[in-house]
Amino acid sequence: MKTDPIDLIPLPLIFLDKDFVVLSWNKAAEKILQLKDKKYLSQSINDAFNHPNLVEQLETRKQRASSEPVLLTYRQMDLSLSVTDDGDQGYLLIVENVTKIRRLERMRQDFVANVSHELRTPLTVLHGYLEILIERADDVLSSYKKTFEQMYQQSSRMESLIKELLLLSRLENDTDDKDRFQIIDVFPLLEKICNDAKTLSGNRQHKIILKADKHLKIYGLENFLISIFSNLIFNAINYTPAKGKITISWQKDGDKIYFEVSDTGIGMEKKHIPRITERFYRIDKARSRTSGGTGLGLAIVKHALLLHKATLKIESEIGKGSTFTCIFPYTGRL
């Protein structure tokens, strides 16, 4: 008996018509997804996977030409579904079982969150005692004051790291955050962050320019939006030489809202751009330590943007500066 070449492909494949109705599948799909019953033929892919919004999600990705897969749970498996055109016939649904990967990811996330919680209390106690020792250093302790100050500085850095790890863990795990979305007046937030940026700049005297639509609001979560804005603006301050220029923009264009931070800083090579939002990724480890960074800021930005269905575009050139652009969907006048 002649074997269909499509059955030699180890990935589960499902063939759909233009209305996302199941036409056929290969042997891998039959085995892994247990699609042995012919009742699935001529059914909507929604019914085959018992997922009421699957067609809508797949259509959205097709319209946006997005390569982002749909993630769902089916028969106690975590599946990644990607859709592509199958010529005039319809669509090809490529299915990948990511159960083990997702389980390991959840274990990693839980471990980081639990360890961070456990470290928070003893570190707060240590930090508090060091602050008292610095303030009350008398003749006996004066020779240790510099040591106490260095310990205090490093404990402060560890506190920042734990705070950001917990925030990142919440962004990755808390699926209920979207239920707390509300209308956010962005302009006052940006004004406050710009004032904080001027304080951070200090004697370096950066020129900070804010170009914002004062009436442009967004539907989202205020604390996570503040994390996005402050991380990008403070990064621009930290990596721009004295008297450099940082331009911050908040504008609407068509069906998108753009938050942009452009600087005249040191820039980076293009090879770093795809990885710059990875947690703990550093272009220059020594420089990052000097600036006091944790290596988590841009990872937080990426996940906070995902929560708001927004994307991040990065452009940079060595010696000429960088531009970070956050692109939010415009949901109508608020």
| Residues 334, 332: Cα–Cα separation, whole Å | 6
State mean pLDDT over 1-14. Answer: 76
Greater pLDDT, 58 or 249: 249
Kindly indicate the confidence band of residue 87, based on its pLDDT and cuts at 50, 70 and 90. low
Which pLDDT score is estimated for 140?
A: 66
By the 8 A CB rule, do 95 and 14 touch? yes
Return the CATH number of the domain spanning residue range 5-97. 3.30.450.20
Least confident piece of the model among 131-135, 177-181, 252-256, 329-333:
177-181
In this prediction the pTM is: 0.65
Phi, psi of 200 (to 5 degrees): -65, -35
Dist. CA 53–CA 58, nearest whole Å: 9
Q: For the structural domain made of 179-329, what CATH number should be given? A: 3.30.565.10
Q: Span 130-139, mean pLDDT? A: 79
Question: What is the residue extent of each domain of the chain?
Answer: 5-97, 103-173, 179-329
pLDDT score of 291 more than 60: no
Of the pLDDT bands very low, low, confident and very high (cuts 50, 70, 90), residue 114 is confident
In the numeric block, the tokens 């500066």 are attached to 321
- pLDDT value of residue 322: 95
**What's the average model confidence in pLDDT over 243-256?**
94
CATH fold group of domain 103-173 = Helix Hairpins (1.10.287)
d(C-alpha 113, C-alpha 166), whole Å: 6
pLDDT of residue 265: 93
CA angle, 272 then 208 then 282, to 5°: 20
> Which of 34-38, 82-86, 101-105 has the lowest average pLDDT?
34-38
- Residue 264 clears pLDDT 60, i.e. is over it: yes
b/e map of 64-80 (b: 16 or more CB within 10 Å)?
A: eeeeebbebebeeebbb
Going by pLDDT thresholds of 50, 70 and 90, the confidence category of residue 283 is: confident
Average pLDDT over the chain, rounded to an integer = 84
